[in-house]
A and B are shown apart, each in its own frame.
Chain A
Amino acid sequence: MLWNSVFHGYLMIPTLDQALAMSVHRTPVAWNLRWECLILAFFELILSISVMGHRIIACCRMAGFNALRNTYRPLSSTTISEFFNRFYYYFKELLVDLFFYPTFLRYWKGHRRMRMAFATFAAAFFGNAFFHFTRDWQIIRDDGLWKALANYQALLFYCVILATALSISQLRKRGPRHPGLLRGHLLPALGVGLFYCLLSVFEASERMYPLTEHLRFFASLFLIQI
């Protein structure tokens, strides 16, 4: 409530969904507001997932179960895969158990890098997309399978980019961190945050607009008109 009244009320920063809708209707908000709402949406998402997860984990722990945290210091992540692990641990574990391990243990055994990339795609692309598609089964019921799939293009694009980035992040050799605060922590963490911020453009207003509208909004962040 306080968050909304300060940022969306007093400071009049639109939500990402509102900014995207205005872009779709060709009355885009100012460039600085587009970035502000994007960054704000990123923090709102982290806060809402953290609060949701901490509530459930708190209940589990009060009941005596030694459950691991769900969200754990995501902003300190210095790699894209580390953020994915810290942001929503149990969803990631679901994808890893159901899609990553079965793929990793069976396919491309002779090619280590290909094996890792293929299994990551199985989890972060196929598993992620499959989960969200089947989660909203009412849309398939109401619109039919083909229309539901067609409306899913922006989220499919989101999953492809995420899976590609996670694959690259995991394939890069993990070496010792740079000891400095700026190069070792701050700059990598900012880069990771920026990546997820920009990626969230394709997650906003799920299934309402075609991919081209998300791409138009994305390009407008860099003052490019398409």
Chain B
Amino acid sequence: MKGKPEIHEFVKSLLINNGDDGPLADDDSLLLSGRLQSIDAVEIVLFLEENFGIDFAVIGFDKDQIDSIDAIYAMTQTSGKPS
């Protein structure tokens, strides 16, 4: 199963795609701060589905769940399945 460094790397790549190469801390807000857009949230959802087996249709979806690297990692620990 992938861990926090992989999540960090993935989020960083999304930010760079958006022209944001600023510093990224694990507790930085991503979506609610506007650094990432809704379309990037979709990319995060796909990343979590494919790499952690998370099914948001089952657990429900809230942007807070994926608003920071810490939040994403915490969710993978509680809802993820080994892939």
Contacts and interface: CB of A to CB of B under 8 A. Distances in A.
Interface of A: 68-69, 81, 85, 92-93, 96, 100-101, 104-106, 109, 112, 116, 170, 174
A129 to B, nearest CB: 19
How many of chain B's residues touch chain A, expressed as a range?
A: 10 to 19
A92 B42 contact: no
A105 B38 contact: no
Interface string B12-45: 0000010000000000000001100111011001
Contact of A85 (B17, B37, B57): B37
- Describe B's contact surface by its main secondary structure: helix
Contact of A92 (B38, B45, B46, B49): B38
B38 A104 contact: no
25 contacts: A68-B33, A68-B34, A69-B34, A81-B39, A85-B37, A85-B38, A85-B39, A92-B38, A93-B38, A96-B38, A100-B38, A101-B41, A101-B61, A104-B42, A104-B45, A105-B45, A105-B56, A105-B57, A105-B61, A106-B57, A109-B49, A112-B46, A116-B42, A170-B39, A174-B17
Contacts, number: 25
Nearest to A174: B17
B12 to A, nearest CB: 16
Given A93-B38, A104-B45, A170-B39, 20 more contacts: A68-B34, A69-B34, A81-B39, A85-B37, A85-B38, A85-B39, A92-B38, A96-B38, A100-B38, A101-B41, A101-B61, A104-B42, A105-B56, A105-B57, A105-B61, A106-B57, A109-B49, A112-B46, A116-B42, A174-B17
B66 to A, nearest CB: 11
Contacts of A101: 41, 61
Contacts of A92: 38
- List the 4 shortest-distance A-B pairs measured between CB atoms, nearest first: A105-B56, A96-B38, A68-B34, A105-B57
Interface in B25-83: 33-34, 37-39, 41-42, 45-46, 49, 56-57, 61
Contacts of B45: 104-105
B2 to A, nearest CB: 19
A104 B56 CA distance: 10
Nearest to B19: A177
B6 to A, nearest CB: 20
A93 to B, nearest CB: 7
